[in-house]
């Protein structure tokens, strides 16, 4: 009886439809990787099946408004061996700060696993500023990694990462001196903000920092 039950279970798994499009994979994505939250107003979905891109954006009816930014992006990056890495990028808004959570994932059968440590480079303060004292101040900011925004490509395979610090979070961070805060507020300015580009290495199945 146990053998029969096992065979029946295997047959059910084998008969289950396999995901083919980015939307299929999104429907299978566990809630722990879809963490975007905030009072964004009406949302719309963008699905580009041909390029393996899925996004949730805030709607806007004002013709003069800037193009809305996604609150969630999900993209597929193909490996040379036929496998794939998925990236889920979330924006969280708490009425004071915008923060971000990004997951690098692998899907194997019915299982999702977080492979961020093996496929994504560890970004340091020095990637976002050339000034040693500003880099040191950034390292003292408790949660600066929460303000890294990964912008996924709708076409192509390069990811852009920007640092968007929150002035409210800086104000309440007791680990920062007045000089630290002043330096990091300056880093908030568009003129001093650096973008880090990550190139997808298809052969190695991982992202690398562009030179």
| Tens digit of each residue's pLDDT (9 = 90 or more) over 67-87 | 677 999 999 999 999 999 999
Do 102 and 78 meet the contact criterion of CB atoms below 8 Å apart? no
Residues 206 and 21: their CA atoms lie apart, in Å, by: 21
Which band of pLDDT confidence, cut at 50, 70 and 90, is reported for residue 10?
very low
- Residue 55: Cβ-neighbour burial (10 angstroms; 0-12, 13-18, 19+): buried
Mean pLDDT of 92-118: 93
Q: What percent of the chain has pLDDT over 70?
A: 87
Q: Mean pLDDT in the chain?
A: 87
13 has a pLDDT exceeding 90:
no
pLDDT at 7: 44
Mean pLDDT of 160-186: 93
pLDDT at 83: 93
Residues 165 and 145: their CA atoms lie apart, in Å, by: 9
Extract the tokens encoding 7: 């065979």
Q: Output the CA–CA distances (angstroms, integers) from residue 65 to 38, 42, 149, in the order listed.
A: 20, 15, 21
Which band of pLDDT confidence, cut at 50, 70 and 90, is reported for residue 6?
very low
Q: Which residue shows structure tokens 């949730």?
A: 56
41 has a pLDDT exceeding 50:
yes
Q: Which of 150, 139, 147, 127 is nearest to 210 (CA)?
A: 127
Pairwise pLDDT comparison (194 vs 68), residue with the higher score:
194
Residues 90 and 99: their CA atoms lie apart, in Å, by: 8
């Amino acid at each position: 009886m146990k053998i029969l039950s096992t065979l029946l279970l295997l047959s059910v798994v084998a008969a289950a439809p396999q995901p083919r499009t980015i939307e299929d994979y999104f429907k299978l994505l566990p809630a722990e990787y879809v963490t975007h939250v905030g009072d964004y107003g009406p949302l719309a979905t963008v699905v580009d099946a041909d390029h393996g891109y899925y996004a949730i954006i805030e709607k806007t009816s004002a013709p003069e408004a800037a193009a809305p930014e996604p609150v969630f992006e999900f993209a597929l990056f193909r490996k040379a061996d036929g496998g794939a890495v998925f990236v889920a990028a979330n924006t969280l808004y708490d009425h004071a700060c915008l923060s971000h959570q990004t997951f690098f994932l692998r899907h194997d059968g019915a299982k999702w696993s977080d492979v961020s440590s093996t496929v994504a480079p560890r970004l340091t303060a020095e990637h976002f500023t050339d000034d040693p004292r500003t880099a040191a101040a950034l390292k003292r900011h408790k949660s600066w990694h929460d303000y890294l925004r990964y912008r996924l490509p709708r076409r192509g395979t390069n990811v852009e990462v920007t640092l968007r610090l929150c002035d409210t979070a800086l104000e309440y961070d007791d680990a920062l001196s007045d000089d630290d805060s002043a330096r990091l507020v300056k880093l908030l300015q568009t003129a001093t903000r650096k973008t880090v580009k990550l190139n997808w290495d298809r052969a190695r199945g991982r992202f690398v920092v562009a030179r």
